[in-house]
A and B are shown apart, each in its own frame.
Chain A
Amino acid sequence: MKTTHTTVVTGAGGVGKTTLSAALAIAGSDPDTTTLVMTVDPAKRLADALDLRGLEAEPVPVPKVPGLWAANLDVTSSWEAIVRRYSEPDVADRLLVNPYFRAIADRFPAAQSFAAAETMSVFIETHRWDRIIVDTPPSAGGLDFYLAPARTADLIGGKLLHFLTGAQLPGRRFLYRFTGRPLLKVADTVLGGPLLEDVAEFLLDLRTMYDALTARAHTMQRYLQRATTLVVTTADPAPMAEVIRFFEDLTDIDVTPAAIVLNRALPPEWAEAALDPVTGIDDPQVAAELTTNLANWGGEARRQATAMEGLADRYQAPLVSVPWMAEPPTDAKSLEELLADVELSRLMAE
């Protein structure tokens, strides 16, 4: 039995969460401990970098990196497992063939995040790994991952069903006797009668899982509170705005990020260097172009510094910079190099 330490890597889409998760997993691996990295749809190049073509939901050992395992989130199969685990067999059979089951699992960002949180929890409960690194689905700046357990339970709790039927779970026919009610008249006009019956039936089945899923959501929340949370961002305005939103909403569920990771960081000294004229270049045309270029990039470095100072003033979490690599990592070695200058203990509790 192993006590698993979990690191959750979160942030807006496109900031490099998946790459950083893989880099962290490699940097933290050694032959004596086991690490699992759980990714969400890695780019082909990243999967290639780890020699992992066609990565699936079931964890597999990563060739060439002793002690490291990898798995990819599969939302559909994860929801199938959830339904099998938390509902009666006959209800599960009905739900799995219901077209709305698929629609819900695919459509709700919260449903995708709930699947990710459930998959993480199942891996933690196997006690097979010393460390699990979790890459999160990008919706709502990663926030969904933390809020999904509660939200999904709410959804399945079914405001609509409460409204239609009261707190008691009714029989099927009981529901249809309400067709005289104004809601169903309106809904009938909008959706068409047969469609409405299908939806109602689906929601009734889903609701039988409510108690089990609510209990499960509490367990997930405990795992999330115990995990090391890393918030990844770049200095661009949109991901920065998501970081701020993330911190504001996280206080509700008692999660404190361990660090804010600035990805694609430029050397801070460029900001200063850009203020002086470039020397030691003979060709005046080259000197002029590289002066302008350094001024541009120095300006970016200054913008990054300002953005980071803003976050440092606002939040307690330490700031960690990961350098801007022009070429994305192509193998395990270059993934490890990404974190060469980073103090790993700040990103992974031992």
Chain B
Amino acid sequence: MLDRDLLLVSGKGGVGKSAVTAALAILGARRGMKILAISMTEPLGLASHLGVDALAYEPTLIRPGVFGATVDRANALDEYLSLQLPLGRTVPTGQLSKALNVLVDTAPGVREIITIGKPIYEVWEEEWDLVVADAPPLGQLQSYLAAPQTITGLVPTGAVREQARRLQDSLSDPAVSGLLLVTTAEELPILETRQAIAEIDHERRVPIIGVLANRLFEPLLTDRATIEELVPSAAKDAALLHSDVTGQQRQWIEALPDDPQLPFLFDVRTPAEVAERLADELERVA
């Protein structure tokens, strides 16, 4: 899983993709790698799982081996422009920059390309052993993955087009990039994940390296009939609920490829604790 330059982590909202992103960064650092964990959307989730209040645009050391960053759109736009503009032209500031932001929000592909561009620029810097990105949720992921192509379709020639083509090359190269999908074993996340796999495989914009099923309950060894025969008690009710939930999860999980799974974590309090424990689990399976 960690054996490439860029690992994008996505999934339906609420399945734990920020926690998994943080856990992968922690795991990499434990193996002695220098990791950049970067948030491509709302940064609070990744920040809290890394145990900090906020993430900055510039990569900042969070713990030994782990740097954190977020793609702040205004900053990313400046960086994108400075790469695009002919030498000597300065990036606009103040009112001009605000107005440019509105344009960027409206024109198709531009906002997405600066967002997906940032982690790839970081890969090009060759400063990191791995860049792990908390990518946009499944519903929006496709438009981000398609952005380089959208731009090459719109802009016939020149530096912008060339840049977009380079981004696309890095994204689709299995030696460089990979997409990890996170899901829980419930109806909507599983169906959306399967649909996304079909579409992404078809478009071939980024190699999918696997599907991590998160929050899976361990089946009880005690069989169902034995539980049902017990006299009423909290222990019996809890065992019945556990066995029902496990059964439901197993049904949904069958629809997925046979990839590593992460357990439901009992008795964790903080997002940082969740990430630490998931890193322990990943160490076992990855």
Contacts and interface: CB of A to CB of B under 8 A. Distances in A.
Contacts of B18: 238
A296 B95 CA distance: 56
A158 B105 CA distance: 11
B155 A291 contact: no
A262 B64 CA distance: 38
A258 to B, nearest CB: 24
A203 B106 CA distance: 9
A186 B92 contact: yes
Contacts of A12: 13-14
A241 B143 contact: no
A182 B143 contact: no
B31 interface: no
Interface stretch (A75-83, A167-175, A323-331): A323-331
A299 interface: yes
A346 to B, nearest CB: 25
B102 interface: yes
Contact of B92 (A183, A199, A286, A299): A183
B266 to A, nearest CB: 4
| Size bracket, chain B contacts | 35 or more
A199 B106 contact: yes
A13 B14 contact: yes
B263 to A, nearest CB: 11
Interface in B93-125: 95-96, 98-100, 102-104, 106-108, 110
Interface string A64-82: 0000000000000000000
Nearest to A42: B188
> Chain B: interface secondary structure?
helix
Nearest to B270: A237
A293 B221 CA distance: 11
B84 interface: yes
Contact of B98 (A14, A45, A159): A159
A192 B160 contact: yes
A278 B13 contact: no
Given A290-B239, A327-B244, A238 B14 contact: yes
B84 A190 contact: yes
Nearest to B161: A192
A129 to B, nearest CB: 27
A67 B72 CA distance: 49
Given A163-B95, A286-B226, A43 B187 contact: yes
Given A238-B14, A280-B230, A293-B242, A103 B235 contact: no
A324 B242 CA distance: 11
B221 A199 contact: no
